[in-house]
């Protein structure tokens, strides 16, 4: 599931290189965002479930918090890198491709990329700004796609626990019929019919 999720997300990242360019359209942009969302969801669930299954019941909350913490740290690092690329490359690209010496105009285009839509389609300023934006997107997305293409290191350290229908519960949370039985490694099944819990005997 993790491998499939990462492949779907990689497909979305690759499609975004086209969708964010001058030949991209709304449909391709929506599709790449959907693919990244689906792939990211698969990968996130697979990581979280495998982490939870690899520890005892008492450590589930801790390992879940750690997985979420690492995910948020990764998102923050990625956002910081993307911001650094934008602020480092975009002003120079605008100056190189937008046919104007007006520093105020270049600053406005850099401060709000949506201002491009105020210029007529095919106008030199609009075309130059789109080319500048595309070049910066190449700098941001192509290394991302290359680094995401090889997941062997992640899959090598990824635990693959066997998930059964057994449930590990603390003794005080077990139904009365199971009180006194050792809760670990677990002898209760998740399924139940009404208030009757099924057991392995």
Domain residue ranges of the chain, discontinuous segments joined by +: 2-162
> Which residue would you say has higher pLDDT here, 157 or 121?
121
- Those residues whose C-beta lies under 8 Å from the C-beta of residue 98, and which sit 6 or more positions away, are 105, 106, 109, 124, 125, 128, 129, 132
Nearest to 167 by CA among 200, 122, 123, 118: 200
Q: Which pTM was predicted?
A: 0.64
C-alpha Rg value of the chain to the nearest Å: 25
What mean pLDDT is predicted for residues 40-56? 82
Backbone angles phi and psi of 196, in degrees to 5: -95, 125
d(CA 57, CA 140): 41
Q: At residue 167, does pLDDT exceed 70? A: no
Q: At residue 136, does pLDDT exceed 80? A: yes
* 165 — pLDDT class (breaks 50, 70, 90): low
Q: Tens of pLDDT along 66-125?
A: 988 988 998 899 889 988 998 999 999 999 998 888 888 888 888 887 888 888 888 898
Nearest to 59 by CA among 164, 199, 158, 184: 184
Angle at 59 between CA 199 and CA 179, to 5 degrees: 30
Angle at 97 between CA 92 and CA 102, to 5 degrees: 75
Q: Tens of pLDDT along 190-201?
A: 433 433 334 444
């Amino acid at each position: 599931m993790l491998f499939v999720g990462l492949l779907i997300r990689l497909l979305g990242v690759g499609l975004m290189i086209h969708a964010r360019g001058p030949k991209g359209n709304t449909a391709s942009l929506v599709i790449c965002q959907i693919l990244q969302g689906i792939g990211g969801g698969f990968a996130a669930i697979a990581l979280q479930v495998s982490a939870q299954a690899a520890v005892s019941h008492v450590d589930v909350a801790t390992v879940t918090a750690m997985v979420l913490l690492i995910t948020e740290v990764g998102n923050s690092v990625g956002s910081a890198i993307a911001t650094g690329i934008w602020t480092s490359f975009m002003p120079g690209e605008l100056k190189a491709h937008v046919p104007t010496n007006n520093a105020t105009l270049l600053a406005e285009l850099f401060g709000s990329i949506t201002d491009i839509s105020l210029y007529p389609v095919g106008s030199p300023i609009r075309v130059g700004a789109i080319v500048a934006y595309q070049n910066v997107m190449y700098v941001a997305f192509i290394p991302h796609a290359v680094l995401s293409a090889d997941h062997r290191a992640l899959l090598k350290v990824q635990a693959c626990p066997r998930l059964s229908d057994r449930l590990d519960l603390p003794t005080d949370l077990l139904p009365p019929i199971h009180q006194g039985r050792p809760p670990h490694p677990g002898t209760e099944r998740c399924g139940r019919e009404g208030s009757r819990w099924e057991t392995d005997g």
